Amino acid sequence: LAGKTAVDLRVRATDSYGHTSAWTPYQRFALDRTAPELSLLTDLDLLLQDGFLSEDEGLWAGLLTDDRAPAGVTACLDGACRQGAAPLGNWQLALPLPEADGVSATVIITGTDAAGNASQPLTRTVIVDTVPPVLTVATRVRETPLTGAQPLVVLAGSYADGGGVAEIYARLQGPAGDFWTTAERQNGQWTLALVLETVGAYQITLQVYDRAGNGRDYGPFPLIVTLHKRYLPVVVHDAAGPTAAVGQPAAPADLAGNGAATVGVVAIRPAAVWLRERRWRAMAGAG
């Protein structure tokens, strides 16, 4: 059949008793000894250059070309296979992606034509990562005074992913609008430090992405920013009644705290502070 492009065939049948049918009319069959050619779309090949295969990259497509009639495509991922028709040459298949976090696998795709000729297999070795990274929050600031130009760590914790974390983004929504930044990462630990220069209510949302492109949101985390702490004048009350204001002590009590300070024999306790006529006063007992 070398050099031929078609053959004419006819057939007849014989049963077990030796009866033979008449010959059928001749029928012409095309000869096809040429295997089809298989290719991926250029955009998909570009996506796979990072070596990862994520959930969003599980739909593969390409072309199956043949000198006569392309038929179909079979795609296998580590032995799990799916088939799709490609009578017009265009093919598209959803790979049987497992739930995996940074696992090496091999994708093999083969095309066939109407005569059953198989193409050369198209092979790609990838890291299957369909699981988003995980963050834990170990440190969280809910309220703080203005930091000025000094950054303050408001959130911190750990991160983990089988294929590696690419970035942790933070969205800060506050009185001055929205602001995006990134968290610092080192050895599985992350910290988010912010410069807070405006009083008000803030909301922080985290977005973490791994190297395969899988992402997950965390939050929101509310944050209240107040004015700077102030050391207030003190009016001392004892058994004899109120005396003149002693002003700010040499070692001033931080009235925003929970401890106590002593001026002479007078104990100043923050829990005894109240607001009256737009002035702060502290009540204290004689020591």
**Could you read off the pLDDT of 231-240 as tens digits, one per residue?**
455 555 555 5
Range with the lowest mean pLDDT among 48-57, 100-109, 214-223, 239-248? 239-248
pLDDT of 256: 40
Query: Looking at the domain assignment, is residue 5 inside a domain?
Result: no
| DSSP letter assigned to residue 57 | G
Query: Looking at the domain assignment, is residue 2 inside a domain?
Result: no
Per-residue pLDDT averaged across 166-181, rounded? Answer: 95
Which SS3 state, helix, strand or coil, does residue 51 take? Answer: coil
Say yes or no: 103 and 186 in one domain.
no
Q: Which residue did the predictor score with more confidence, 284 or 154?
A: 154
Q: Give φ, ψ of 30 to 5 degrees.
A: -75, 140
Per-residue pLDDT averaged across 22-26, rounded? Answer: 92
pLDDT digits (tens, 9 = 90+) for 236-268: 555 555 554 444 444 444 444 334 443 443 444
Sign of CA dihedral 60, 61, 63, 69: positive
Within a 10 A sphere around the Cβ of 211, how many other Cβ atoms? 20
| Rounded-to-integer distance, Cα 177 and Cα 202, Å | 10
Query: Looking at the domain assignment, is residue 7 inside a domain?
Result: no
Query: Looking at the domain assignment, is residue 88 inside a domain?
Result: yes
Say yes or no: 153 and 200 in one domain.
yes
Say if residue 37's pLDDT is above 60: yes
Structure tokens at 53: 């295969």
Tell me which of 75, 100, 129 is where a domain ends: 129
Per-residue pLDDT averaged across 83-95, rounded? Answer: 92
Say yes or no: 200 and 218 in one domain.
yes
pLDDT of 229: 56
- The domain tally of the chain equals 3
pLDDT of 240: 58
Kindly indicate the confidence band of residue 93, based on its pLDDT and cuts at 50, 70 and 90. very high
| Mean of the per-residue pLDDT values of the chain | 82
Say yes or no: 49 and 124 in one domain.
yes
Which SS3 state, helix, strand or coil, does residue 26 take? Answer: coil
Per-residue pLDDT averaged across 144-166, rounded? Answer: 92
Per-residue pLDDT averaged across 211-233, rounded? Answer: 83
Per-residue pLDDT averaged across 33-43, rounded? Answer: 88
Per-residue pLDDT averaged across 78-105, rounded? Answer: 92
Say yes or no: 114 and 166 in one domain.
no
Query: Looking at the domain assignment, is residue 71 inside a domain?
Result: yes
Say yes or no: 83 and 138 in one domain.
no
- Cβ atoms 68, 151 nearer than 8 A: no
Q: Which residue did the predictor score with more confidence, 81 or 6?
A: 81
Tell me which of 110, 129, 148 is where a domain ends: 129
User: Could you give the percent of the chain with pLDDT greater than 90?
Assistant: 58
Say yes or no: 109 and 185 in one domain.
no
- Cβ atoms 231, 254 nearer than 8 A: yes
| Rounded-to-integer distance, Cα 161 and Cα 82, Å | 29
Q: Which domain holds residue 268?
A: 237-286
Say yes or no: 213 and 262 in one domain.
no
User: Could you give the percent of the chain with pLDDT greater than 70?
Assistant: 78
Say if residue 281's pLDDT is above 80: no
Structure tokens at 177: 């609008």
pLDDT of 282: 42
Say yes or no: 266 and 188 in one domain.
no
Q: Which residue did the predictor score with more confidence, 10 or 3?
A: 10
Say yes or no: 124 and 37 in one domain.
yes
Query: Looking at the domain assignment, is residue 75 inside a domain?
Result: yes
Query: Looking at the domain assignment, is residue 122 inside a domain?
Result: yes
Say yes or no: 209 and 124 in one domain.
no
Range with the lowest mean pLDDT among 97-101, 103-107, 128-132, 276-280? 276-280
Query: Looking at the domain assignment, is residue 43 inside a domain?
Result: yes
Kindly indicate the confidence band of residue 33, based on its pLDDT and cuts at 50, 70 and 90. confident
Q: Of 120, 35, 112, 117, which Cα lies nearest the Cα of 72?
A: 112
Q: What is the CATH number of the domain that holds 165?
A: 2.60.40.10
Q: What is the pTM of this model?
A: 0.63
Q: Which residues share a beta bridge with 230?
A: none
Q: Of 167, 162, 160, which Cα lies nearest the Cα of 130?
A: 162
Say yes or no: 123 and 142 in one domain.
no
Tell me which of 192, 207, 226 is where a domain ends: 226
pLDDT of 267: 43
